[in-house]
């Protein structure tokens, strides 16, 4: 039972156990609401038979108070079991999803966009949270309590019970047949919402470019179309559910009519008395109330399947794992016959072999799309290779825990990510326990002092979302300062100087030369002047190693690298 709820509603083990408790509380709470019906039946029977004494009256008063107390206790239990437990589980669910995402390979993120993942963590979790507190326990609890009450009614009088109960399975069949239709509508609705979120997010991120190209109106027309599509899908989903649920509820209402007709016939025949007829009418009215809510909840629980499937897709995605024991013999990175593709049939790298040695700078150069950035990511195990082997100090990185492996890497990405915090704290990300003096030293190495000291509060200046208050070159230098602060034995620089002017690029190269002593450095760059000082150059083209050697050796070969140097040197003399 626990595993069923864990799978069906994307719950933790504790959450599934709490869900079972919540269902039990709803069941008992619904049954408790039938106690006053039994008490009223008993009182009415005694009253009509003129069998009311002072002691019995006192007993009925005590029983009434006891009924109210039981109803209060069961409702209080139900409230705590459904709401409080659900909110605790919701918090755990979001944390677990975030933890899961942290452990997934980047190949997963390449298949899912940001809006989709945001929707899974926010919208899908919110949908399951609401269902967990308002619908799922009520659905299963109402079903169980109805079955128990129906059994009691059959024991009381099977003919009257049959007249009251026949509508329930008919209504349930109608409601349950809506599941496939609801799933179709729900998938369309979720898809439309994700597309709308993507459109809004893209508009916010590209507003400057759209405005500069006078393309705002055209883009907004498409965005408004997505709004209309999301609205139509929402209306369609509600209508698709309503057709079945409203029909089922109409059938359920017929139950009171059949109880009245059947009871009248049996009353005329003398098979039941007036009191029993009256009791069944009361019981039927109470019987259909939780069932009516159940029919509505069936629709909600069915629609929830799409949300839970999306979360289960994240939870069940295989993680990158490995041992935390990592004792490499040095930090040479060796690539042996590497083969890799992001998608089936689209090879990015094939049979790539070379060694980036410790204490040297290895530069990866080549045309865009040749596999340079991919190779650097594979070196840090952001993706797992399909063929060959990558070793660090002789250790196969595919067998090392990704977080353990990352402890020996400092990386400067081409696209810098900064946080809406101070300059100091953005640099400190490279080393959580770094002192202010260490941060300042790393910043000076990255040539950050020049602009940081001009900011209103220096290193305590808040730089805005993703460093919006800084220029591209300034943001890049902060990213480089992080890598310097981490001071890891392996450094990956992906176009680290792409946003820097010539003067700052020279300063950064000078800083890097101080930093790389006894370290393994892999540099990706398009500027030939950046890599001419490297110890080894690997030229990648169409996913293979075209040339490999020192700058002087490759220039003497007069091959691909020499041609790149000539072309870029000629371009520097171009004028407009």
110 or 481, which is more confident: 481
Given the structure tokens 């399909």, which residue do they identify?
386
Residue 38 has pLDDT above 70, yes or no: yes
Query: What's the mean pLDDT in 322-330?
Result: 88
Domain ranges for the chain, please list them.
Answer: 2-315, 331-408+522-576
231 pLDDT band, cuts 50/70/90, is confident
The predicted pLDDT at position 524 comes to 87
pLDDT digits (tens, 9 = 90+) for 43-81: 777 777 777 778 788 888 888 899 899 989 998 998 888
Class of domain 2-315: mainly alpha
505 pLDDT band, cuts 50/70/90, is low
pLDDT digits (tens, 9 = 90+) for 77-93: 988 888 888 888 888 88
Query: What's the mean pLDDT in 339-353?
Result: 81
Beta-carbon neighbour count of residue 174 at 10 Å? 21
State percent of the chain over pLDDT 70: 94
| CB contact at 8 A, 479 and 493 | no
pLDDT digits (tens, 9 = 90+) for 253-281: 888 888 888 888 888 888 888 777 877 77
| CB contact at 8 A, 192 and 233 | yes
Beta-carbon neighbour count of residue 520 at 10 Å? 27
pLDDT digits (tens, 9 = 90+) for 359-401: 888 999 888 778 888 888 899 888 888 889 999 999 999 899 8
Residue 576 has pLDDT above 60, yes or no: no
Residue 500 has pLDDT above 70, yes or no: no
Computed over every residue of the chain, the mean pLDDT equals: 83
Spatial separation of the C-alpha atoms in residues 473 and 483, rounded to whole Å: 16
| CB contact at 8 A, 274 and 162 | no
422 pLDDT band, cuts 50/70/90, is very high
Strands (E), 401-535: 409-412, 490-494, 520-524
The predicted pLDDT at position 416 comes to 81
Task: Specify the fold of 331-408+522-576.
Answer: Rossmann fold (3.40.50)
pLDDT digits (tens, 9 = 90+) for 149-201: 888 888 888 888 888 888 888 888 887 777 777 777 777 887 888 788 888 87
| CB contact at 8 A, 193 and 119 | yes
Provide the CA 264 distance to its chain's centre, in angstroms.
58
Evaluate whether 2-315 and 331-408+522-576 have a shared fold: no
Residue 241 has pLDDT above 90, yes or no: no
Residue 543 has pLDDT above 70, yes or no: yes
The predicted pLDDT at position 507 comes to 62
State percent of the chain over pLDDT 90: 9
The predicted pLDDT at position 428 comes to 92
The predicted pLDDT at position 508 comes to 63
Beta-carbon neighbour count of residue 9 at 10 Å? 23
Task: Please state whether the predicted TM-score (pTM) of the whole model is above 0.75.
Answer: no
| CB contact at 8 A, 423 and 478 | yes
| CB contact at 8 A, 221 and 138 | no
| Of the candidates 351, 336, 326, 466, the residue with the CA atom closest to the CA atom of residue 408 | 326
Given the structure tokens 């001071």, which residue do they identify?
487
The predicted pLDDT at position 574 comes to 60
As a residue count, the chain comes to: 576
| CB contact at 8 A, 44 and 54 | no
Residue 405 has pLDDT above 80, yes or no: yes
Q: Determine which of 135-144, 271-280, 439-448 has the lowest per-residue pLDDT on average.
A: 271-280
């Amino acid at each position: 039972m626990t595993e069923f709820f864990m799978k069906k509603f994307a719950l933790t083990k504790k959450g599934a156990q709490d869900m079972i408790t919540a269902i039990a509380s709803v069941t008992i709470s619904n049954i408790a609401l039938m106690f006053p019906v039994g008490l009223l039946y008993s009182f009415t029977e005694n009253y009509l038979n003129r069998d009311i004494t002072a002691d019995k009256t006192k007993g009925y008063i005590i029983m009434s108070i006891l009924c109210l107390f039981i109803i209060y206790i069961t409702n209080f239990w139900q409230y705590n079991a459904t709401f409080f437990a659900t909110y605790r589980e919701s918090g755990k669910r979001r944390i677990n999803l975030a933890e899961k995402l942290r452990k997934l390979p980047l190949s997963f993120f390449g298949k899912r966009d940001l809006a989709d993942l945001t929707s899974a963590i926010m919208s899908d979790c919110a949908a399951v949270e609401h269902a967990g507190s308002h619908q799922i326990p009520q659905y299963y609890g109402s079903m169980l309590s109805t079955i128990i009450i129906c059994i009691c009614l059959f024991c009381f009088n099977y003919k009257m019970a049959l007249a009251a109960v026949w509508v329930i399975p008919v209504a349930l069949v109608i409601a349950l047949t809506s599941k496939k239709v609801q799933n179709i509508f729900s998938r369309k609705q979720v898809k439309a919402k994700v597309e709308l979120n993507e459109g809004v997010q893209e508009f916010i991120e590209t507003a400057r470019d759209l405005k500069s190209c006078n393309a705002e109106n055209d883009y907004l027309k498409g965005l408004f179309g997505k709004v209309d599509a999301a609205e139509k899908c929402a209306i369609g989903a509600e209508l698709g559910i309503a057709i079945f649920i409203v029909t089922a509820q109409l059938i359920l209402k017929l139950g009171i009519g059949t109880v009245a007709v059947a009871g009248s016939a049996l009353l005329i025949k003398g098979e039941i008395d007036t009191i029993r007829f009256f009791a069944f009418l009361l019981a039927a009215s109470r019987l259909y109330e939780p069932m009516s809510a159940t029919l509505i909840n069936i629709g909600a629980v069915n629609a929830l399947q799409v949300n839970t499937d999306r979360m289960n897709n994240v939870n069940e995605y295989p993680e990158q794992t490995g041992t935390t024991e990592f004792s490499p013999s040095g930090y040479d990175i060796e690539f042996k016959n590497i083969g890799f593709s992001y998608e089936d049939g689209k090879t990015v790298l094939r049979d790539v072999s070379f060694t980036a040695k410790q204490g040297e700078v290895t530069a990866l150069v080549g045309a865009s799309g040749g596999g340079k950035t991919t190779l650097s990511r594979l070196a840090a195990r952001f993706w797992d290779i399909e063929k060959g082997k990558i070793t660090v100090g002789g250790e196969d990185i595919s067998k090392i825990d990704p977080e353990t492996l990352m402890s020996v890497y400092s990386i400067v990405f081409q696209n810098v990510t900064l946080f809406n915090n101070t300059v100091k704290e953005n640099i400190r990300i490279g080393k959580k326990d770094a002192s202010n003096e260490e941060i300042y030293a790393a910043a000076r190495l990255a040539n950050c002092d020049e602009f940081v000291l001009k900011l209103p509060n220096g290193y305590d200046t808040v730089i805005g979302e993703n460093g919006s208050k800084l220029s591209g070159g300034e943001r890049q230098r902060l990213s480089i300062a992080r890598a310097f602060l981490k001071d890891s034995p392996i450094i990956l620089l992906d176009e680290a100087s792409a946003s820097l002017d010539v003067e700052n690029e020279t300063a950064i190269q000078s800083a890097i030369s101080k930093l790389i002593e006894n370290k393994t450095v892999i540099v990706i760059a398009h500027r030939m002047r950046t890599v001419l000082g490297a110890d080894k150059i690997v030229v990648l083209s169409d996913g293979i190693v075209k040339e490999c050697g020192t700058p002087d050796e490759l220039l003497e070969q007069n091959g691909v690298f020499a041609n790149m140097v000539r072309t870029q040197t000629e371009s520097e003399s171009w004028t407009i």
